[in-house]
Amino acid sequence: MDLTSHEPTGEISERWDKHRFDMKLVNPANKRKYRVIMVGSGLAGGAGAATMAELGYDVECFCIQDTPRRAHSIAAQGGINAAKNYQNDGDSVYRLFYDTVKGGDFRARESNVYRLAQVSVNIIDQCVAQGVPFARDYGGYLTNRSFGGAQVSRTFYARGQTGQQLLLGAYGALSRQIKAGKVNMHTREEMLELVLVNGQARGIITRNLVTGKLSAWAADAVVLGTGGYGNVFYLSTNAMGSNVTAPFRAYRKGAGFANPCYTQIHPTCIPVSGDHQSKLTLMSESLRNDGRVWVPKTSGDTRRPRDIPETDRDYYLERRYPAFGNLVPRDVASRAAKHECDEGRGVGPGGRGVFLDFADSINRLGKDQVEQRYGNLFQMYERITDDDPYETPMRIYPAVHYTMGGLWVDYNLQSTIPGLHVVGEANFSDHGANRLGASALMQGLADGYFIIPYTIGNYFAHNATPALSTDAPEFKQAMQECENRQKKFLEINGKRTVDSFHRELGKTMWENCGMARNATGLKKGIEHIQGLRAEFWENVKVPGSGAELNSELEMAGRVADFLEFGEVMCRDALNREESCGGHFREEHQTTEGEALRDDENFCYGSVWEYKGYGETPALHKEELHFDYVKLATRSYK
Amino acid sequence: MKLNLHIWRQKSPNDAGKIVKYEANDISPDMSFLEMLDVLNEQLIEKGEAPIEYDHDCREGICGMCSMVINGVAHGPEKETTTCQLHMRKFKDGDTIYIEPFRAKAFPVVKDLVVDRSAFDRIIQAGGFISANTGNAPDANAIPVSKVIADQAFDAATCIGCGACVAACKNASAMLFVSAKINQFRDLPQGQPERYSRAKSMVEQMDAEGFGACGNQNECEAVCPKGIKVSNISNMIQDYTKSVLATDN
């Protein structure tokens, strides 16, 4: 497996400029002769499809929702980082780069991260030009806040719905290109297979989710912007439809899957309320700016939170991490919450929760100020829990939120399959082992607006893509495989629902490959998943037919892929005998319970190669080099 | 809790469709409305019956995908709340609940509670954006925008495009949606160059899709999960009228 990163050499601040000059261009008149398939229409996919169309490429864009505006990017609440230094507090491109490499626990590629920090400033400009209503001060200028793990205020935000506002910007740009005829938009159309011709990614097979019709699509290149795989855990903050199928199908066709075990567990989510729970709801991390996290000092303290005096409370983040306090990065905050609950000091049903308390802020700023900052989040919390956070502290607990792993890509965002590019959360590139708050929107838009539109041209200029029709045998065969698989789901007619398999898989993943992992648990997890997978193919019950809207059939396909993919995650976690970022191996921690990284043996990206159904995948390594940010132990004390 | 459910079942767009009665037992008040339907669906599948199809995705009240009329009200009884954020504690043990799709000529039923809202996409495609190619933008702070204007734009921009406004209106008017999308840009400096042409093309597309006219009864505002105000509609009509009367655009 060729893992050449193709990153430019030289001074890091000049690499992207140098690369842009070195890349070959496609003549403007020739661009319309190239067709690009974009799977996904969120921040990365939508922005990429729109921008490539603006440049002149013909784009076929696919999404599983009824409209591209519903992609799950929409749910991001907190904000988007950019090194604008508008607050004059010492921010710079270099500092954002430095923070991101360090925050990712030194498991990302320096050149990529630097480029991300560089283009972050262009993103804000672009979004404002599109009319995205970022928060402003009374002078009319953009305002910022500090956000999870950063000591400068570089986060731009739009109340608690930055994701929706940025997505509406990208959706507007996309809609404009649809109207102009440069993007053919296919809604409720799910990618089921990637088609390779002569080793190049040349098309996909999709299923229309309304009619059930399978279709083949040929193009000169394929881009995946299909988001993350957090739903392998069943319960996560992802949307119900979020899945791993598109990247997983590509993996089965030879694309390397990198760092699948890097999962971000977000510290501030509403705790699980019962077995019926279908998903978890995030409370924006921005709440940690004004909320203080605590638990009662003694376990089993059943007094109402307001009746517990200061002396009986443990503000454990402020105690353990005085420099960063409640603003420590997500992985650190999540593990600390788990630790308190494991020790029996958790609050609420089942003892799986900690308090996030706004009393001090309400006293200091007044209720109005707090309402202005967090009103919609408080409202959402009250709706779900029936508790009023103005009166009583919120209860929060960590939940699966984001996946740093994804298909391996080089500096051009190309996977190990020529012509297959991957953008946004679906790739593995920029966040290393832990993503900092407000960096997901930044990366999605960076890839979509400012990177893939350039690098796709370079691919075309260097690679011939001969004319191709969907009558080619490769398409016929892929169609047949999709049909057979679908038929199989419908014919099993067993006793268990798709959901019951998914729930069991999620429970195993959470227990064995969740916030803290160990070799025994991971091995147990792998064994369990193998058994569950075998049972799935014998005993799943999928009602209805393939020729209609059938959400059970859709889910069956996604869960079948999760059942294979979960094992790859466990294998990756088992291989990585160190603790870094979102990956915490219990065998590798300091006496104080902090993560213990092993740079000597694990300073690499793990890239897994598919070897066949039920076979152990092969591990390849991309060695990482840190020439600018010196390898150091993260300390937020 | 135990509930008597009356749910709209329709196999396909051309099927006549009918209300079917179901009983839901062991419903916890902490469940969301959609989780209650999940439980029912799982029971239906186990019994070999077809589960009820409904649209949903983020279950956080922001994607705008869920779309049901609950006891005659789009998104159900709780104010400024999408169906996915509605919880069963708002109902009582033994309640009878009617669940139907969003109904409008421009929102044909696809199956059961799923409707086709692609008309909204086509309205946006007609001009619901600011034309700014990637790379064109000046520095973000080069365009100061007064906080009042920015906040007004934001209030309109919170629309999640769910279509409850259409479902609530007896004329199936989409004016609340369209006017929110127009007002999102109307007063921003970036939105000025296309202000009137935008209003004109979006309103024309809205009419072409078969949405009705505003009847001034404000049911749309009453059901809007994001609290979009009907005052947006008067702004839209003002701009649309100007665009029709003006000769220079």
Element (H, E) at B157: helix B147-157
CB contact under 8 A, B134 and A138: no
Nearest residue to A97 (alpha-carbon basis) of A73, A78, A81, A76: A81
CB contact under 8 A, A179 and B87: no
Cβ–Cβ under 8 Å, residues A297 and A310? no
Test the A interface: residue of B44, B124, B184 with most A CBs within 10 Å: B124
* Cα–Cα dist A233/A540, whole Å: 19
Chain A residues in contact with B108 by the CB 8 A cut-off are none
| Average pLDDT over every residue of A277-288 | 90
Give me the DSSP letters along B79-146: TT--GGG-BGGGS-TT-EEEEE---BTTB-EEETTEE--HHHHHHHHTT-S----TT-PPPGGGS---
**A166, closest residue in chain B (CA to CA):** B157
Summarize pLDDT for A556-574 with one digit per residue, the tens: 999 999 999 999 999 999 9
* Cβ neighbours for A279, distance < 8 A, ≥ 6 positions apart: A235, A236, A237, A238, A239, A240, B59
Strand locations in A404-559, DSSP E? Answer: 406-407, 420-422, 496-497, 540-541
CB contact under 8 A, A69 and B64: yes
Chain B residues in contact with A165 by the CB 8 A cut-off are 154, 157
Cβ-Cβ pairs closer than 8 A, A with B, add up to 214
Chain B residues in contact with A185 by the CB 8 A cut-off are 121
Pairing of strands A394-403, A354-357: antiparallel
Reduced to 3 states (helix: H, G, I; strand: E, B; else coil), residue B74 is strand
* Cα–Cα dist A385/A352, whole Å: 15
Q: Which amino acid is at A39?
A: V
Summarize pLDDT for A85-138 with one digit per residue, the tens: 999 999 999 999 999 999 999 999 999 999 999 999 999 999 999 999 999 999
Chain B residues in contact with A175 by the CB 8 A cut-off are 121, 124-125, 128-129
* Cα–Cα dist A574/A568, whole Å: 10
**B148, closest residue in chain A (CA to CA):** A138
* Cα–Cα dist A68/B195, whole Å: 24
Residue B95 C-alpha, separation from nearest chain A C-alpha, in angstroms = 20
**A445, closest residue in chain B (CA to CA):** B134
* Cα–Cα dist A169/A312, whole Å: 48
Element (H, E) at A524: helix A519-539
Chain A residues in contact with B136 by the CB 8 A cut-off are 129
Summarize pLDDT for B141-162 with one digit per residue, the tens: 999 999 999 999 999 999 999 9
CB contact under 8 A, B134 and A137: no
A636 pLDDT more than 60: yes
CB contact under 8 A, A449 and B78: no
Segment among A124-133, A366-375, A401-410, A495-504 with least mean pLDDT = A366-375
Question: How far are the Cα atoms of A248, A349, A477, A570 from residue A276, in angstroms, in the given order?
Answer: 28, 15, 41, 26
Q: For residue B15, give the DSSP letter.
A: S
A353 pLDDT more than 90: yes
Pairing of strands A58-62, A183-186: parallel
Residue with structure tokens 């393939």?
A546
Chain B residues in contact with A50 by the CB 8 A cut-off are 134
Residue with structure tokens 């999962």?
A263
Buried-exposed string A577-609: b where 16+ CB fall within 10 A, e elsewhere: ebbbbbbbbeebeeeeebbebebeebbbbbbbb
Reduced to 3 states (helix: H, G, I; strand: E, B; else coil), residue A299 is coil
Structure-derived torsion over alpha carbons of residues A621, A627, A632, A637, reported in degrees to the nearest 10 = -120
CB contact under 8 A, A70 and B65: yes
**B201, closest residue in chain A (CA to CA):** A179
* Cα–Cα dist B147/B150, whole Å: 5
Chain B residues in contact with A136 by the CB 8 A cut-off are 144-147, 150
Chain B residues in contact with A277 by the CB 8 A cut-off are 35
Residue A72 C-alpha, separation from nearest chain B C-alpha, in angstroms = 7
Chain A residues in contact with B46 by the CB 8 A cut-off are 495, 497, 541
β-bridge partners, A206? A191, A215
A149 pLDDT more than 70: no
Structure-derived torsion over alpha carbons of residues A77, A80, A81, A84, reported in degrees to the nearest 10 = -130
| Average pLDDT over every residue of B61-65 | 96
Residues in chain A: 637
Buried-exposed string A51-73: b where 16+ CB fall within 10 A, e elsewhere: bbbbbbbbbbbbbbbbbbbbbbb
β-bridge partners, A314? A295
Its pTM surpasses 0.90: yes
Residue A329 is predicted with a pLDDT of 84
Question: How far are the Cα atoms of A253, B107, B122, B178 from residue B202, in angstroms, in the given order?
Answer: 44, 17, 9, 7
B105 pLDDT more than 80: yes
β-bridge partners, A249? none
| Average pLDDT over every residue of A292-312 | 94
* Cα–Cα dist A58/A52, whole Å: 8
Give me the DSSP letters along A105-173: TS-S-HHHHHHHHHHHHHHHHHHHHTT----B-TTS-B--B--TT-SS--EE--TT-HHHHHHHHHHHH
Residue B112 C-alpha, separation from nearest chain A C-alpha, in angstroms = 10
Residue A358 is predicted with a pLDDT of 96
CB contact under 8 A, A75 and B62: yes
* Cα–Cα dist B175/A385, whole Å: 34
* Cβ neighbours for B193, distance < 8 A, ≥ 6 positions apart: B131
Residue B245 buriedness (CB in 10 A; 0-12 / 13-18 / 19+)? exposed
Residue with structure tokens 């609440």?
A77
Cβ–Cβ under 8 Å, residues A211 and A523? no
Residue B248 is predicted with a pLDDT of 60
* Cα–Cα dist A252/A612, whole Å: 8
Q: For residue A446, give the DSSP letter.
A: I
Element (H, E) at B23: strand B18-24
**B54, closest residue in chain A (CA to CA):** A551
CB contact under 8 A, A239 and B59: yes
Residue A276 C-alpha, separation from nearest chain B C-alpha, in angstroms = 7
**B146, closest residue in chain A (CA to CA):** A140
Test the B interface: residue of A51, A70, A171 with most B CBs within 10 Å: A70
Summarize pLDDT for A387-396 with one digit per residue, the tens: 999 999 999 9
CB contact under 8 A, A128 and B137: yes
Pairing of strands A189-197, A200-208: antiparallel
Give me the DSSP letters along A582-600: TB-BTTSB-TTS-B---HH
Residue A272 buriedness (CB in 10 A; 0-12 / 13-18 / 19+)? middle
Q: Which amino acid is at A437?
A: G
Question: How far are the Cα atoms of B120, B164, B178 from residue B123, in angstroms, in the given order?
Answer: 5, 16, 8
Paired tokens of A113: 């991260």
Cβ–Cβ under 8 Å, residues B43 and A226? no
CB contact under 8 A, A139 and B144: yes
* Cα–Cα dist A118/A519, whole Å: 40
CB contact under 8 A, B118 and A66: yes
Terminal CA-to-CA distance of chain A, rounded, Å? 41
Q: What angle separates helix B147-157 from helix A162-179, to the nearest 10 degrees?
A: 70
Chain A residues in contact with B144 by the CB 8 A cut-off are 136, 139-141
Residue A150 is predicted with a pLDDT of 82
Terminal CA-to-CA distance of chain B, rounded, Å? 60
| Average pLDDT over every residue of B90-118 | 98
**B30, closest residue in chain A (CA to CA):** A273
Residue A147 is predicted with a pLDDT of 82
Chain B residues in contact with A158 by the CB 8 A cut-off are 154, 157
CB atoms closer than 10 angstroms to residue A367: 12
Classify the complex by whether its ipTM is higher than 0.90, answering yes or no.
yes
Summarize pLDDT for B179-221 with one digit per residue, the tens: 999 999 999 999 999 999 999 999 999 999 999 999 999 999 9
Q: Which candidate from B62, B65, B190 shows the least CB-CB separation from A129?
A: B190
The pLDDT confidence band at residue B241, using thresholds 50, 70 and 90, is very high
A593 pLDDT more than 90: no
**B121, closest residue in chain A (CA to CA):** A67
Summarize pLDDT for A529-546 with one digit per residue, the tens: 999 999 999 999 999 999
Pairing of strands B3-9, B73-74: unpaired
Q: Which candidate from B60, B129, B133 shows the least CB-CB separation from A281?
A: B60
**A141, closest residue in chain B (CA to CA):** B144
